[in-house]
Amino acid sequence: QQRDHSSTMSSSSIPTTPQEKYALMTKNLQEIIGGQEIEAVLKERDAKIYWGTATTGSPHLGYFVPIIKIADFLLASQHVTILFADIHAFLDNMKSSWELLDHRVRYYEFIIKEMLKVMGVPLEKLRFVRGSEFQLSQEYTLDVYKMSSIVTASTAKHAGAEVVKKSDSPVLSGLLYPLLQGLDEQYLGVDIQFGGVDQRKLFAFARDNLPKIGYQKRAYLMNHLIPGLTQDGKMSSSIPNSKIDFTDSDKQIKKKISAAFAAPGQVEGNGLLAIMRFIIFRKLEQEGRDFVIDRPEEFGGMIVFKTYEELEQAYAQNTLSPQDLKLGVIPEVQNLVRPLREAIQTNQAIFDSAYPDTKKSKPKKDKVEKANPFVTFCNQQVKEAREQNPDEYTDMADKFLVRKLNLGRKFAQLSDEEKKQYL
């Protein structure tokens, strides 16, 4: 087993030797099981790798973490299978009809291809498979019975502890989940399974139990998991503000990132730094660019980071504020999401068929909020400052102008009667 494996190889370089391919395939991973087995395969041929995803929610920015790794596999000329676990999705409380799941699988395939196009990798060695294409066969079903006859309930429960939904009254399918995921490796004919580190117990289960029914053990590549944008750290399709959706406008992206939780100097659990490390810096590396935070001169001027390590160190030492970090993250995420949003808009019918509730839902009316006197005061002062000094202030962002004019202190010095005029 190997942990925290990294490499300095540029993802824009096409590896040719087994050593170069292994280095790119294992770059930035949290853990590897069976690394020597992978190296042995690469000396003989290109490996076969699979990644599975249940087609339940809607892919969002966080999906770039596994997709960028899949891009590495393809750049290293490996054979990649993406399994759409449609049966698993159907059994997820049976919330979705088979017809809806069919549309959703089509959307997943569409958006994953678009994401890989953004990463600029060849797709010739990529294939998509639905679980329903083989998981209902006689042979697969017989193997499920074989596995269930040798695996104890406690072992299966332990294997699925990190990924199976917890419940006071758990259903039997939760115990079958590890068996099914393990058998998928055999029926897809792969050497390696790829997934998040939360899959580790499932991977260990398959490695231990597949040989007991006559199948070979596989190797495993595990990605880091990244936290969401909210304080609880979860990135979930069911928590809108925890993630950036591919349908979000530039304005919505700016709003979500501006409101993201980012404690000063705190690296652990910082969703913005995770996005920078595992998504944005990989894209910058591909494009041969530095990370630039374009601050006005009066607030310190432009900051340039050549590596993620430089960025993390500056943030940890409090020489980079959360506000400045967000200032740099916003345009990078907007630029990454924009081509995907445009692709969805061009193929709107695919998205609408997969998510009909989104299409039918009516926009919510804006809540009527009580006027904030400080905001009104700032807006008025900013407007007057721009009118009086257009050359100096026209291009300056509101938040910087508020700081420059010291409006917080000025408002605090007003009497209660004076403040009331801004209600």
Helix pair angle (35-44, 18-25), 10° resolution: 140
Place of tokens 């398959």: 206
Element holding 365 (H helix, E strand): none
- Cβ atoms of 294 and 327 closer than 8 Å: yes
Question: Going residue by residue through the chain (423 aa), what tens digit of pLDDT does each one get?
Answer: 544 444 434 444 788 999 999 999 999 999 999 999 999 999 999 999 999 999 988 999 999 999 999 999 999 999 999 999 998 888 765 667 888 999 999 999 999 999 999 999 999 999 999 999 999 999 999 999 999 999 999 999 999 888 877 777 777 878 888 999 999 999 999 999 999 999 999 999 999 999 999 999 999 999 999 999 988 777 766 677 889 999 999 999 999 999 999 999 999 999 999 999 999 999 999 999 999 999 888 888 999 999 999 999 999 999 999 999 999 999 999 999 999 999 999 999 999 999 998 755 443 443 444 456 767 877 888 788 777 877 777 666 666 666 677 777 777 777 777 766 776
Q: Whole-angstrom Cα distance, residue 365 to residue 180?
A: 45
- Strand order from edge to edge, sheet including 48-53: 2-5, 29-33, 219-223, 192-196, 48-53, 79-84, 126-130
Q: Is 167 left (phi over 0), alpha (psi -120 to 50) or beta?
A: beta
Beta bridge partners of 304: 292
Token digits for 262? 């980012």
Residue from 256, 300, 272, 238 nearest 92 by CA? 238
Token code pair at residue 217: 């053990």
Q: How far apart are CA 360 and CA 288, in angstroms?
A: 42
For 320-332, b where at least 16 C-beta lie within 10 A, e where not — what string? bbbebbbbbbbbb
Burial of 237 by CB count in 10 Å (0-12 exposed, 13-18 middle, 19+ buried)? middle
Whole-structure pTM over 0.95, yes or no? no
